[in-house]
Every structure is written in C-alpha cells, then in structure tokens.
Chains A and B, each alone.
Chain A
C-alpha cells in the first residue's frame, strides 16, 4: 500500500489550522540508540488490554476525520479496511484476531477453507459456508462475490485494491458489469462455489482474498457511488445512520451467525463513530477518560505533543497501544540521474543518514523504530534483521570514503522533496547528509500535491522521502511495488521512487512470484531484500508506530499488525457495558 493513506492520516492530524504544527518534537527521554528496549511505550506490545470484554454497551470511536471509502469495492486504506471487514462485511478469507505476528495468519471467513489451488496455482477455488445471510436475512451467494469483484473495475467506483485487475485472466480493459459485461475468469458453478482463473501462478492468492474486493455485494443493492454511504451488511453490524464527516452509528445485524464466524466477537451492542473532532481534544478526552469517554477509543494516532502527558502517568500509560504501522519510510534516490546512478554515492547516503535524528523529527523514539532493512518486521516474522549494519546515527567517515571512491571527495549539491508535515524530517536528512559534504536543499510540498509532484519523474528532485506499507504480510506486496523497474511511469509514478531498474532484481522477482510454496517464497523475498539493499536504491529510515490511547472501560483491544497497528475491531469491547453512558 502506498504511503498516501498513511500520510493522509498524518496530515489531517497535523492540520490544526492556525496554531498548527507545534508537533514533531515529542520525545521526552533520550536514547543513545542502543537502549531501545526500555521504551515505555512498548510495555503493551503483543498484549490484549483490558482482558475479555463483556457483551453489550456502546463503544464510541472518536475520530478526527471521515472514512475514505466504506464501499468494499473502493476501500483500500488500512484502518478503513479493518473497520469495514471486521464489522460490516465478511470476505472469503480474513486475518486471525490475534496480537503480534499471529495477526498475519489467515482464517477462513465466508469460505470453508483457505482455498484450493490447481493448475500450478493458476486456478483457485473457494467453497462458501452454508446458511450465511445478509442483514435482511437473504442468503449470501458466490454470485455476489463475483459481482463485487466485477464492480471494482468500474470507473465510477475508483480507489479500491487492484489485485483482481493485476491477477485475473482476461481482465485487461474490463470496465465493470455495466452493459452486462462479465469476467469469464471468475466462475460460479453453483451458489456456494467460486473459482478464480489467474493469468499467472499466484501462490498467495488466499492472502489477497482478505481484501474488501472479495466481500459480497448483492446486485439488487448496488446503487453505484452512493453504495459508499450505505454498504449492505454481511458482518456482525449494520449501519443505522451515517452522516458523512459527522457520525456513523452501527447496530447489531441480527442475521449474522456467530457460529459461522471464528474471528469476530462482536461484543458491543452499538458502535458510534463521532467524526471531525480535533486531534488534541480527542487526546485530552481519552487521557481524562471520564463519563462516556471511558468507553471510547481513538481512530487516529495520539499526537506527538500528547505523548509526554501519557507517558508520565502510569495509569494512563497502561492504556496505550503502540503497534507498528509496518510502513517503511525511506530516503529514495533517483538512480537514473547523476550522481545517484553510482552505487557508491547511494551507499554514501546510507552511511551518512542519521536515523536517530529522522526518528526524533518524525515524532520521537516512543512512536517509531529505526529501519534496519527494507521490508517491515511483519514480513520477517516479527522483527527486521539488521541488514544495513550501520550505526543508527550514521557513519560519516565511511560515507566520505565512499564519496571519495566515487569521485566526489568534496561532496555535491542535491535537493529533496518532502510533504509539508515532514519538514522536520527533511531538515534532519539535510543535516545528516551535510556531515558528509552532501548539500541538500529542501522542497516542501503540500500533502495534497505531494504524490503528484514526486510522481513526475522528469521534474522531481533527486531525493524524495516517502514509504510503502505491505497490503498483506507478504514480500510480494512490498518489493515488487517499490523496486520493480517495469512499473515505473513517467508521470503519476508511485512506489518505485528510486526508479530502480535492475535486471537481476526483476528476474528474481519473477522467479519468486512463480513459487508455489509460500514458505519458500517468504524466505526468498527476505533474501532479495538484502540484495536490493546492497545496491542501495534507497536508504531505509524509520518505521512508525500507531499510538492509540484507550478509555478506561475498554477491553479486548490490541493493535493489529496486518491493519497498520489499528485496533482490531473484531475483538474490542467494554469491561462494563452498563458504564458506557448511553
């Protein structure tokens, strides 16, 4: 997943109009780069807060924004996918509701199992559970899943995951089910069987079927763009009211059968999302946690300036989640342009970069970790290996050495583009590269124009600072998006911002993609990660965390590793439903 979604979240948080960005200086304790194990934020790592919830009550979600899309054909933002697939619609397969790395494992959802492949992983068949129903009691059929896959191709319904377009056979030029056109590569032999024919082998196809594209939408309920405001429920809750950017109220779907669902617990009776609140007010309300706010959870990150207030109070600190977002932020270099066409120059940048300083500028060590490899920890079974083997504050002597070898003993001048919210990060990069003689000028771009400007490969700066998040825990959703030269576009380029075109890397990616053994493939991606890093198209910088402060009455809460650290809405509930106020 593109950093777009992460940044959208961050920028709306930072956008406090006039008083605005005092942010990005929230670290209150020093780190020497070695004693990171003591980070108090990580006390709840891998734990479920508040014990097992009691059924009932109203869970309040305090949000600073509206959802981007809740229409399952269009939903491709981490937190929104969590909310949608855990509460409103079920998919063929879903993630287990477990903290830590176990959250990356799959569980059958609408399907009876994780799919059966044939034809060398080119054909995938799923059998649906019997007796599944929508919110009106009508049956969920395999036709409805095919229909939603098809409508995700419609130009009227943009924004959703493109895995179906990427893998389904005969999908080129398909524009959705309008005018009665259908995809022949999705077959529905009976109401409970669905078969996907792919254009190339894809061993991880079941992982892709956790995406909302593979949720059912009955044709009779499809009203195009307006479906976004009222998706029809196949999950444990249905929408009672939804006023965009104001309030969303969910109530129980009486036709959802808990017996058929091993993942969703559906503890609260009602879930009320209040939107458009100010970030600092949400933080204050949750720190105080009085009245109905005790039964509330936040939607967006705790603001950097609130972190000190949380960490200094033991009682408050206990309620803080800080799971990794699993998005790697990188300093990406234009490998097609001098002097960054030289490996030694790029390695010099890797050596010169002070990741501690970047981390401090991006919110402090409490809410992020320095990156030591390209793919985030979730793709290494939990923790990134230290492939870089460079001190976190950089190694200026070796950086200078590499520059000398590359014929730039006195350094050179270059420029970086950063999103307006990342100005401090730009300055940290400027200072750390300056130590090796690389003079960097900073160009700040408004968040709304950031991706357009760095996607213009002809006119952009040599350096850009942006990241990538895997869509599901597999190297195939990370490395090919960021380092496959065949996806580079002259304008509107995304992902591969180092414009890295390396024959050996691309051949290896094709080989791994063709592997039918998922375990073997995972190992191969991890190995390839190191090989790409040695060629230094980017300098990995930090991996941010998702700090979320819970109300005192919240139970069953943990940050889900596969949903960017957002609270798993499948299991969250209340300790005491009678205390939820409403």
Chain B
C-alpha cells in the first residue's frame, strides 16, 4: 500500500510538471505582450524595453520556466533595484495586473470557491444519490420514470440558464433573497449560507441530475449481483441489504466522478461565480483571461490540475475503504 501511494504521488508530480510546462509554453509563445499591456498607450520603445527587463521577459523561455519552477519550491525575487519584491514559497509568480503574488491572490479567493463547491456538492450528492437509489429500487414504476425524465430535463439546462432563472425568479420577482454577495463564513454563517443558496442550487441542479442517472444504473447493476441475493436469502432486513451491501458497492463509480467534479469546482466555477458576482478563483481566472494576466492564468491552471489529480488520488485510496472487494 505504501509503495502504491508513493508511486501515485510521483505520477501526480509528473502530471503537474507537464501541465505547467504546456501552459507556460502556450502563453509565452502566443503573440501577446504583458509588458506592452502594462506600459499602456504612447509607450516609448526604451520604456517598453525597461519594463520587459523588469518583468524578466527578456530572458530565454527555458530560463523563465526554470525561474518559475524553482520559485515554487524556494521562493524568488521579482524585479530588481528599489522595488524588488520577494515572492515567498510557494511562489507561483507575480501578477503585475493585480500588484500581488499569485499565491496570495489564489489563497484569498479559494475560500469563496470552496464554499461554493462544498455546499453545492453536499446538495447534489444528497439529491442525486437518493433520487438515483429510489429510482433503481422502484425500477420501471411511475416514480422511476418521473425521476429520470426530470433528471434528463435538469441535466440539459445549462448552468447559466438555471442561474439567470433563479436570480430572476427568486431575487427579482419574488424578492425572497437579496442579490448574492459573498459573506465569509467566519463573519456570519447565516448570511454566508443565505447568500450562497442560489449559487449552490444552480450548480447542484445540474450535477444532481447527472448523479442520479449514474447512481441509478450503478445500483441496478449492483442489486442484481449474486451476493445481494445471498444477503436477502440470509433474511437480512431490506434496509441493511440496500444500504450496507448495495449502496456501498454501487457508489464506487459515483465516487470516481465525484472526485473529478469536486476537484474541478474547487479551482473555480467560472460561469457560476461570474453570474452571481462571487469573488472566487473562477472569476479571478476569467478576469485574468480577458486582461492577458499570464501569471494568474498559469497559477489557476496549475491549481485546477492539482485539485483534480489529488482528488483522483484520494478517490483511488478511498476505494479500498468503500468497496472491500478492491482490497482483495
């Protein structure tokens, strides 16, 4: 088990390095010039050259990449002379657009994206798994059909549509909630939740639909397994059969999906955050894209990759816990 874990961790590092290299190359090869963007209008050639030198853009590409990678582990100094800044470990670069280290920008926005992702995940897991299980157990009945048709409908609604409808209906017409505005959990848990309720719903509707379909088919398959029949034949209560034997094994494919989805969302739900005006990683990313703020784009891409890879690893290790057969 330890060797397995170590091997997986090594693979994680490899994937992250590859992602960093590819992203780095793409954005630095593309014909855009952050120095020109910073310099602004009526920028003279010598001033542009000075700014390029200050940003380190006059260095060869491999050198810039090496500085970036080594900065992650040791921290590094950005700029030179009077205004040199020390970007401390783990230095993901410095955003000239925001005048802040990328790591600080990310950690500042992460709680917002995490609040959104975790809250939505709880909602969609509860809704999706229960709907899927119920539909699987009542396979072929009216309940099953209603649930599954509803799921197809919900899955086909794009998140921006749901989000706009929620804002229109709940906020504008009914006036039940104010326009969402992020309040940190530590400040006021009640307002934190009430402001995040709509974004949670918007995300959860979409995911719950997919999860209910996934868990339904998975449960149907599991419930047809011989060991379930055995458990039933032993006279175990139905509840025990379904929850302890059926659900536990049926959850593995759902868990794989969940790891990827949650990991991706932790690094920002771009559309949802933008529509609800939540200052999370997703909106940071969107702003960086439109401003051509390469260090931030690179930082968010790496963060997203890290979350997904780590979530995947966690899921693989969890398999063993959830499904005893994996241990065999």
Contact = CB atoms under 8 A, between A and B. Distances in A.
B99 interface: yes
Taking residues whose C-beta sits less than 8 angstroms from the other chain, chain A's interface range is 35 or more
The prevalent SS among residues of A at the interface is: loop
Interface string A201-232: 00000000000000000000001111011000
B41 A448 contact: no
Nearest to A455: B36
Contact of A452 (B32, B40, B81, B164): B32
B62 interface: no
A47 interface: no
Contact of A276 (B40, B108, B179, B277): B277
Nearest to B105: A244
B51 interface: yes
Contact of A154 (B38, B83, B275, B277): B83
B271 A492 contact: no
Nearest to B35: A158
Contacts of A178: 81-83
Contact of A481 (B42, B83, B100, B271): B42
Contact of B277 (A66, A179, A278): A278
Given A4-B40, A156-B83, A159-B40, A278 B275 contact: yes
B271 A17 contact: yes
The prevalent SS among residues of B at the interface is: helix
Contacts of B82: 154, 156, 176-179, 224
Contacts of A12: 290
Interface string B269-301: 011001101010001101100111000000000
Contact of B279 (A158, A228, A229, A276): A276
B119 interface: no
Interface string A172-211: 0101111100000000000000000000000000000000
B188 interface: no
Interface in B72-91: 79, 81-83, 85
B85 A226 contact: yes
A277 B83 contact: no
Contacts of B158: 18
B274 to A, nearest CB: 6
B287 A245 contact: yes
Contacts of B64: none
Given A225-B83, A277-B277, A165 B36 contact: no
Given A17-B271, A245-B98, A278-B277, A158 B167 contact: no
B46 interface: yes
Contact of B33 (A275, A452, A489): A452
Contacts of B318: none
A224 B85 contact: yes
B87 to A, nearest CB: 12
Contacts of B283: 245, 276
Interface string B50-83: 1101100000000000000000000000010111
Contacts of A173: 46
A448 B108 contact: no
A11 B290 contact: yes
Contacts of A162: 42-44
Contact of B98 (A159, A223, A244, A452): A244
Contacts of B41: 1-2, 4, 76, 494-495
Contacts of B287: 66, 245
A365 B107 CA distance: 45
B179 A281 contact: yes
Contact of B164 (A19, A228, A276): A19
Nearest to B33: A452
A177 B83 CA distance: 10
Contacts of B32: 448-449, 452
A506 to B, nearest CB: 17
Contacts of B275: 17, 278
14 contacts: A15-B290, A17-B270, A154-B83, A155-B51, A159-B39, A176-B82, A225-B79, A243-B279, A245-B283, A245-B284, A275-B279, A281-B179, A494-B43, A495-B41
10 nearest A-B pairs in the assembled complex, by CB-CB distance: A224-B83, A2-B41, A155-B50, A178-B82, A156-B83, A178-B81, A228-B99, A246-B279, A158-B38, A277-B277
Interface of A: 1-2, 4, 11-12, 15, 17-19, 66, 76, 154-160, 162, 165, 173, 175-179, 223-226, 228-229, 243-246, 274-278, 281, 284-285, 447-449, 452, 481, 487, 489, 492, 494-495
Interface of B: 31-33, 35-48, 50-51, 53-54, 79, 81-83, 85, 96, 98-100, 105, 108, 158, 160, 164, 167, 172, 179, 181-182, 270-271, 274-275, 277, 279, 283-284, 286-287, 290-292
